[in-house]
Chains A and B, each alone.
Chain A
Amino acid sequence: MTPSTERLFIDLILILYLAGAAGYFAGRRFAGLSRAAFWLSSAGLAANLLALVNRVSLSGRLPLANGYEFLLSFTFITVLLYLLYEIISGNKRAGGVVMLLNGLLTASIVLLMPQHIGYTAPLMPALQSPWLTVHVITAIIAYSAFTLAAGLAIIQLRNAVPGDDLSLYKIVSAGFAMLSLSIVLGAVWAEQVWGRYWTWDPKETWALVTWIIYAIYLHLHRQRGWRGNNARLLVIIGFLLMLFTFFGVNYLLPGLHSYA
């Protein structure tokens, strides 16, 4: 793919995700549309997969090395998780919010990092490590799970049905486990590359703050029986902190993670 074709693909993904979101929102009134929304989102997922395959063939490595590739993998896993969730649970309520979030994440590629689209740079020495793959993949799965959880929590704020609390808890648990793995694997890597496993670098600090919010949610849910909107607000706050850990730290605060 040439840079302009790759850009076209990103635009296509963006349009399909936003169309999917619109379909899910409209599907609350006109039931047939949410079926169309599912297929629009699936088409977006396929385009997203093609864009990832193209990145792999362009760079010869997994698409995990900069902010653009991270976002592309992040939206792919999030939509994949959502569609699986929809198929398994038969629940389409969160589709609109989740697909809108994915649309906005894809839009952030176009708005914030257009210079990366279609181009690859060789890895700098610090990134040439097998730890890169496991550290970033676990982070992406964690981010995806938290995004799905936030979408569910936003919908549940206004109308909750029995079983909602438990599915939210399960998804947050999985995301929390992945974030824990990512932080520990990142620390192992940092020890190998810089000789320091923890430096209170902005990315580390904000990832820890995000981790703490979800840890508090898990304790309150399990041990104090927290259910309902207070618990959901914590999940949404955790998601906002996660977004800040990704965008805020990359764009506002300098640090060791300034690769994007």
Chain B
Amino acid sequence: MTDDNINELESHLEDEIHELQKLGLSAEESMLIAKKRIGNIEELVTEFSKVNKGIYFKNKIIPYLKGILLFVAFLTITSLLANLSILIANKLGVNDKNLSFVSVGLLILSTFILLMFSYKKYKNVNLNIRKLTSIPILVSTIIVSKLLTFLSFHVLNRLIGISHYGVLQMNLSIYKLIFVFFILIISCVVFYSLKQENKTTILE
């Protein structure tokens, strides 16, 4: 339902309550009857969605779009971090052997930050994550990270040899593989536990 639909139903409820109170009912009784008359939320949403087909569809796909964008943003940021690790290592004078540790360290740190955000959201900590996951912010993050990754690639090409860059990309690929594997395990666990819970509810 759109905000306009909700406001309209709210004003309808107020009218209904007002009329019932005029008949001598208490505020609480009027509220209960008005709520009953307006029908249950599922039926209302079904009726309204027939007219708001476009909005209904857009609202349905937004979570999926956000999920995809979040994943792309995460991958882009990790690529950028990998490139950044070379620059940091180069500035600090870290040798080639320890370069992998720096890059892996940065990637682990980014994963840790992501998990921390997810955990805090899960625990309902007052964290305004909505703004961070809004589509314009995600799209801008992806574009900026992609541009920076592209620019850093050119800087790196001059700074270090292509072979070192290859090693880093290899590290990043392994990391991405592990990350995808981790997401797959979580998806399977959530899917099967939910299936199991639904079975138990039906049996009950």
Determine if chain A interacts with chain B.
Answer: no
